Structure 1
Amino acid sequence: LIDSGILATLTPKEYGGLELGLDVAAEIVRTISAACPSTGWVTSFYIGAAWRVNIFTEQAQREVFADKPYTLTAGTAAPLGQVQKVDGGYRITGQTAWNSGSVHAEWFTFAGVVFEEGSAPTPLWFLVPREDVKILDTWYIAGMSGTGSNDISVDDVFVPDYRTGPFALALAGTAPGQLIHPNPMYHLPFLPFAMAEVTPVVVGALRGAADAFVQRTRDRQGTISQEKASGKQAAQMRLGRALAAADAADTLLDAFFERLTAQRPEQSDPRDRAEMKLKAAYLADLARNALNDMVRGIGGDGYRSSAPIQRFFRDLSVLSVHAFLDIDTASETIGRFTLDLPVADPLL
């Protein structure tokens, strides 16, 4: 991945990157995910890290890109434990989960909340080098097992002010570090960008699963009857539904990116961000349901560890319950907006 140069897809040209569009990054990730969703996921997060680093100050950005036009940065939006304001920065201690790409990461980003007497709690992003982080061997999971999304911990680590970013402004796409770049791509609110990272993985994985199901249907033969599965009407119908779902997902993803790139960042509001999140979650739900239909027709051999279809099944099952892709949560949020009820999603 490093040798291919694709990790610089979204890096600003000012730092030696390609500064290509989000649609280009999506096509790269979709293609890789059709072969291996875990690799596609890590690729997406490493490409997207060049965008996320722009939440921080220009000094921090130049530090990250000082010697190469890409960054191996892992991270999570989940908050870490204790944050204490000190002269020149902050001291942080705690543990946080879901750090995709942690195994090869050189930097880590995560959130934390500063509590100061007499002031409202202030959420911040923190940028921390690998040498200040302990990677915990916690990633044992049924699907997406190749992403290395381990827990990390930090113990009384000092983070200078310039390696912090304003959480609330990043959610709106107006962090000072974002605004130094003229390309409006860097001014997107955080949540729509995060959706742009994860949805191509889902769609690519569904396409890969459909291709694997085609091959499985061609090759499968009944153990007792010796009848070829390809000759059965039920298998043919299941195959048709799988291909239709994969085509529909491709179309929906393209429409998602058309809307994302056409809209000016300042036009985005919490309702709009919630709608983008629901579109992404709907894609994940479509993919999971389509794959559930496929696996009912793969036979026992389809669940062998060597069978690609079972890996796609496990990976998509895990992907579809990711916090950004959970259909129930995303649907509830839009329902509450529609009914004029309070919405408490902190990422909107």
Structure 2
Amino acid sequence: MTNAMPGTSPADTGLAAAAGKVAELAAESAAAADSANRLSPPVAEALVSAGFARHLVGPKWGGTAAAPGAMRDLARALAVVGAGCMSAAWCGGVLAAVGRMCSHLPEEGQRELWGDGPDVPLAGSLAPSGTVREVPGGWRLSGTWDFASGVDYAQWTMVGGLVRGAEGPPVLRHFVLPSSDYRVLGTWLNVGLRGTGSNSVVLDDVFVPAHRSFEHRSVLMGDPDPAAPRLHRVPLKLINGLFFVAPGIGAVEGALGAWTEWTANRVEITGARTSSRPGVRLTLARAAAGLDAARLIVDRAAAEADDAEVTPALTLRATRDYSTAVDLLLDSVNGLLRMSGARGQAQSSPVQRVWRDVHCMAGHAALQPDVNADGWAKHALGEE
């Protein structure tokens, strides 16, 4: 495995150009989304119109999953939106991620979702919850599923549940339901990423036909069909962290720009310019370098997901690198907030909002440093 970055250019899907327009719209309402605990309808609609929902849907349904360089294109587009509003970028990543997962549905289920076109807003609650009862032709589900980002605007939502396996312990399956089959509870009252509207869904003995369900194992391993788009065939862990860390790259970039402009004009109580302090200059340099390093790491992982030979070592390194990028972003935004003083902690400050958002991003299961480092280290040490 080489450390060289593959040379594939981002795909020409129009996503990057459209992302700039979404970022402008999202930035205008970022503070309002933070207060309302959900995106505004225009921003939610703009994410779908820009192409995030269709980005990892198969070409059979009009999606762009097979476009060369699609993962790198997505990473950059998420960062662009994240610079305006990290919550909006997070929802854009969820749209793409759930679209990719639902591409593992049987063909009848895919047709039900995308038969009229690929621009379908989807949400998902990955962790198993509720109760699942197998019945002729499918399953019946009841219970509450949490953390479904963007669910208020979704036409369909995917939930996870444990079912009896053919042999051994229960297995995780995913079930896809139209919005008419569930209720949304306004449970998302979080310290950060408030605008994602990651509310809960409630199901009351809802029937899900077999064609709207698939095993999680198929997503983990990737589609075995050689004719499937590459990004449907790669293991989930090769790309999963990217959906969540790329918005953080953009968010820290936006915070760094705002902080730098503000700091350049700040004056100390002594009358001296704040920018003349060595500690302030050091903070700026470190934050910018950490951001650049995080971007390079994630850009390489995205490029290799598009082109490199897929091996266990590649997947383990990608998960390690996603967590490392998060640590770099945390260091950058922590320094910015510390050197902002009390004024930088005001609700009107974009730095404190990004600080909260990035810390919440770091808690995502796909980005946990101990688990991701341990897997790579065991491989490097020859222990597995």
TM-score scaled by length of structure 2: 0.81
Aligned-pair distance for 1:104? 0.6
Shift of 1:211: 1.2
Matched ranges for 1:104-183 at <5 A: 104-115=153-164, 120-174=169-223, 179=225, 182-183=228-229
Question: Do residues 92 (structure 1) and 141 (structure 2) align?
Answer: yes
Aligned to 2:291: 246
- Secondary structure of residue in 1 paired with 2:203: strand
Deviations 1:16-71 (A, max 9, x none): 23343111111111100011110100011113332121011111111111223222
1:306 aligns with 2:306: no
In structure 2, what is the Cα distance between the partners aligned to 1:193 and 1:334?
A: 15
Deviation of residue 219 (structure 1)? Answer: 2.6
- The 3-state SS of whatever aligns with 2:240 is helix
1:205 paired residue number:
251
User: For residues 36 and 116 of structure 1, do their structure 2 counterparts lie closer, same or farther at Cα, with a shift above 3 Å needed?
Assistant: closer
Indicate whether 1:263 and 2:305 are aligned.
Answer: no
* Range moving further from structure 2, 66-75 or 131-140: 66-75
Distance (whole Å) between structure 2 residues aligned to residue 48 and residue 71 of structure 1: 13
Conserved 8 A contact 1:33-1:204: yes
> 1:34 aligns to what SS in structure 2?
helix
- 2:231 pairs, out of 171, 185, 188, with 185
Structure 2 distance, partners of 1:88, 1:71, is: 25
Q: SS where residue 272 of structure 2 aligns?
A: coil
Q: Which residue of 1 aligns with 2:88?
A: 39
**Closer, same or farther in 2 for the Cα pair 1:307/1:118, shift >3 Å?**
closer
Counterpart among 320, 330, 335 of residue 362 in structure 2: 320
Unaligned segments of structure 2, at least 5 residues: 1-45
The equivalent of 1:346 in structure 2 is none
Task: Name the residue aligned to 1:50.
Answer: 99
Please give the alpha-carbon distance, in whole angstroms, between the structure 1 residues aligned to 2:98 and 2:331. Answer: 30
User: Aligned-pair RMSD on alpha carbons?
Assistant: 2.2
Aligned partners of 1:17, 1:10: CA distance in 2, in Å? 6
Gaps of 5+ in 1: 343-348
Residues 7 and 47 of structure 1 are in contact (CA less than 8 Å); yes or no, is this contact kept in structure 2?
A: yes
**Counterparts of 2:221 and 2:308 in 1: how far apart (Å)?**
14
Identity of aligned residues (%): 27
Contact 2:295 / 2:325 at 8 angstroms: preserved in 1?
Answer: no
Q: Is residue 2:284 matched to residue 1:235? A: no
Quote the Cα distance in structure 2 between the aligned partners of 1:72 and 1:6.
9
SS in 2 for 1:332: helix
> Contact 2:287 / 2:331 at 8 angstroms: preserved in 1?
no
Alignment-mate amino acid for residue 288 of structure 1: L
TM-score, normalised with respect to structure 1: 0.89
CA gap 1:181/1:103 in 2 versus in 1, 3 angstroms? farther
How many residue pairs match? The answer is 335
- Report the Cα distance in structure 1 between the residues aligned to 2:152 and 2:264, rounded to whole angstroms: 38
Q: Cα offset for 1:331?
A: 2.3
Range with greater deviation from structure 2 (135-144 or 190-199): 190-199
Output the CA distance in 2 between the equivalents of 1:306 and 1:118. 56
The aligned residue for residue 284 of structure 1 is 326
What secondary structure does 1:55 align onto? coil
